[in-house]
Amino acid sequence: MLSDKDRIFTNLYGFESPFLDGAKARGDWDGTKDILARGVDSIVGEMKESGLRGRGGAGFPTGLKWSFMPKESDGRPSYLVVNADEGEPGTCKDREIMRHDPHKLIEGCLIAGFGMRAIAAYIYIRGEFVHEANVLEKAIEEANAAGLLGKDACGSGYDFNVYVHRGAGAYICGEETALIESLEGKKGQPRLKPPFPANVGVFGCPTTVNNVESIAVV
């Protein structure tokens, strides 16, 4: 019988350091290059087989959502956007991940971004989460300095950057198209669909929006 223990977010209560040395000691960034070497189709296929569903509330199959992204570029870059707005009353699951296990989210961004042929990820974080944004930014700096992100991320030949964008406290920006509008510097109002973000998302480019936990468990 399995014992009752945390198996994914092993630092959720913050007993250890959230930063790179502590994260590596917990197994983060171990074998990431090998995962990327399997190729885009393998990663998306494995996500479909895993049955992982979106952890933002809708429960849409994550691998299926990734598969909507274009397989060949029409000249526009593709992006991953992580919804870290978490504005629902009393909700703080994503906040704890960003505060205590940020490298799980960042590593997940790299793998997910590779699977979608994205050039960058934007983590759109609720403006009130000041400490969490600071922790994320420091963790991203560490990952860049260690060669885990940026040019030739993890020695894979793949260039990928992660950015933190702080929201302004609007509840509606939890909706993915309103979030995209805000990320572009506009008033955060939902867009009419279609077109869907996988076709016309942030900056008019193909985009997938996933919840923090959805990406962190990758």
| Tens digits of residue pLDDT in 57-82 | 677 889 999 999 999 989 999 999 99
* pLDDT of 2 above 70: no
Q: Are 16 and 22 in contact (CB under 8 A)?
A: yes
For residue 143 the two structure tokens come to 């990952």
Side-chain-facing half-sphere of 59: CA atoms under 13 Å: 0
* pLDDT of 49 above 80: yes
| Tens digits of residue pLDDT in 110-130 | 999 999 999 999 999 999 999
Q: What is the pTM of this model?
A: 0.94
Spatial CA neighbour of 98 closest among 204, 177, 218, 215: 215
Question: What domains can you pick out in the chain, each with its CATH number?
Answer: 20-68+77-216 (3.40.50.11540)
